[in-house]
Structure formats: structure tokens, C-alpha cells
């Protein structure tokens, strides 16, 4: 009886092994049949940016600020980017206005209008903080960022959209100081930008332009012009869909 039981146990073990193998094969076939799409990088970045904005707001007592380290993020927000030709403008020609470039001290928040401020960071290059209210704590938290975030003769860009407010912002890195910077949306709406730079000849600065909030779902083009009217740098930023 014990030998029969041992034989039965061995047979049962073999049956379980065969069943386990068949089950494993079936599970692998099912897994292989499931379509695998690209990693949800954009979604992860958006959620990460949202979490960072919430943490910044808590740290600064309800003040929302954006640290623009565009090699890691393009901000800005705000930020899926496309390197595609800008669509043709449909707005009528406008008189070109020179860009107001102000020299500011490092880490010093500079009021830029509508309750917002911007500060430039001397650590590395093309790093800045922009946000509403008092951004001093956010500036302190951003100290130490290093590295070049955009290539030579180029622009970065992002935007802040809050109800009726739309603020385009970014950095420029050009051999010549731009005489004019302009933001143009897909529908042709144009906004002249103002700019900040650090003392000396750092070779870069940050720009900002308030626009029409009704164009917040459109892509936009940023163009930096030289004193002779030639284009120093231009970049198109695609519309960002979703929160």
C-alpha cells in the first residue's frame, strides 16, 4: 500500500508539473499578445511637474513659482516641445517694437507685471525662476543648478496659464544681444517680449511676454531678432494637451 501511494504521489507530481508548464506557457503567450506601447513619458513628466508645483506652493506659503531648468524638463511648461517649422502668421503686419532688456543682479526677483516676478541664476546658464508673488524661497531652493540648458543660438520656452492670465517665458542664448523678441501664436496673435540679463556679457538672458489667454491651447513661435532685423534664433513650441 505504501508503494502504491508513492507511485500515486509521483504520478500526481508529474501531472502537476505538466499542468504548471502548460499554465506557464499559456501565461507567456497571453503576455506576448498584449500590445506594448511607448512608455508614458509625457504623462509622467506632467504629473511630476504638477507635484513639484504643489510642493513649491506649500513651501512658499501658497506662492506658485517655476524653476526653469529646461534641459531636464523646456518648463516650462508647460512643456511638450516640437522642433517643427512655425505655421504662417495670419495676423496683419505690426510695427516692430524693440525689446526692453533690463540688467538685474543674480538671484534678485524682478517684478515683471501682473503680480509676477522673475529671477536669473548665475549658476550654470539659462536657469531662472518665474512665478507669482514672493518667489524668494523658490530662488533660494534653486541655487546650485548648473550646466547649459540650451544650445548656442537657440531659445527655450514655456508658459503659465491661470484663468485670464497667460505668461510666455523662456531663455535665449545668442552671441548678439537680441534687439527684439516676439511671441506669435498659431492663430497669428503677436506679443512683444521684454527681457532680463545678468551684468557683464553672460551670452544669455530670460524673456517674458503676457498674451491673450484665449490662445492658451495653441502652439507658439518665439523669434529673437538682431539690430539689423535678421533672425538670431527661432523656435516653435507645440500645443500642450491635457492638464
Cα 107 to Cα 105: distance, rounded to the nearest angstrom: 6
DSSP codes, 74-91: -----------PPPPP-S
Q: What is the enclosing helix (H) or strand (E) of 140?
A: helix 136-142
pLDDT higher than 80, residue 82: no
Phi, psi at residue 216, to the nearest 5°? -65, -20
Q: What is the enclosing helix (H) or strand (E) of 234?
A: strand 231-237
Domain boundaries, the chain: 64-237
More confident residue, 117 or 15: 117
Q: Where are the alpha helices (DSSP H) in 60-103?
A: none
pLDDT higher than 90, residue 111: yes
More confident residue, 45 or 191: 191
pLDDT at 73: 30
More confident residue, 176 or 64: 176
pLDDT at 110: 98
pLDDT, averaged across the chain: 74
Mean pLDDT of 227-240: 93
Q: How confident is the model at residue 40 (pLDDT cuts 50, 70, 90)?
A: low
Q: How many CB atoms lie within 10 A of CB 4?
A: 8
SS3 content of the chain, % helix, strand, coil (to 5): 25, 30, 45
What share of the chain in percent tops pLDDT 90? Answer: 50
Amino acid at each position: 500500500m505504501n508503494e502504491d501511494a508513492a507511485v500515486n504521489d509521483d504520478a500526481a507530481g508529474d501531472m502537476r508539473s505538466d499542468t504548471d508548464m502548460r499554465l506557464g506557457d499559456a501565461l507567456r503567450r497571453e503576455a506576448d499578445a498584449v500590445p506594448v506601447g511607448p512608455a508614458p513619458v509625457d504623462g509622467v513628466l506632467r504629473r511630476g511637474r504638477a507635484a513639484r508645483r504643489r510642493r513649491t506652493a506649500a513651501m512658499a506659503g501658497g506662492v506658485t513659482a517655476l524653476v526653469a531648468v529646461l534641459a531636464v524638463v523646456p518648463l516650462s511648461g508647460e512643456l511638450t516641445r516640437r522642433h517643427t517649422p512655425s505655421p504662417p502668421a495670419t495676423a496683419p503686419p505690426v510695427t516692430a517694437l524693440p525689446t526692453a532688456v533690463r540688467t538685474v543682479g543674480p538671484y534678485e526677483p524682478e517684478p515683471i507685471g501682473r503680480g509676477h516676478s522673475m529671477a536669473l541664476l548665475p549658476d550654470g546658464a539659462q536657469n531662472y525662476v518665474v512665478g507669482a508673488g514672493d518667489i524668494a524661497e523658490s530662488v533660494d531652493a534653486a541655487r546650485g543648478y548648473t550646466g547649459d540648458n540650451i544650445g548656442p543660438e537657440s531659445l527655450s520656452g514655456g508658459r503659465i496659464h491661470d484663468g485670464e492670465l497667460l505668461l510666455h517665458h523662456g531663455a535665449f542664448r545668442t552671441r548678439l544681444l537680441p534687439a527684439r523678441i516676439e511671441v506669435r501664436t498659431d492663430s497669428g496673435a503677436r506679443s512683444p517680449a521684454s527681457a532680463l540679463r545678468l551684468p557683464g556679457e553672460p551670452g544669455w538672458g530670460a524673456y517674458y511676454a503676457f498674451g491673450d489667454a484665449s490662445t492658451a491651447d495653441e502652439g507658439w513661435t518665439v523669434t529673437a531678432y538682431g539690430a539689423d532685423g535678421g533672425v538670431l534664433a527661432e523656435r516653435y513650441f507645440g500645443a500642450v494637451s491635457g492638464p
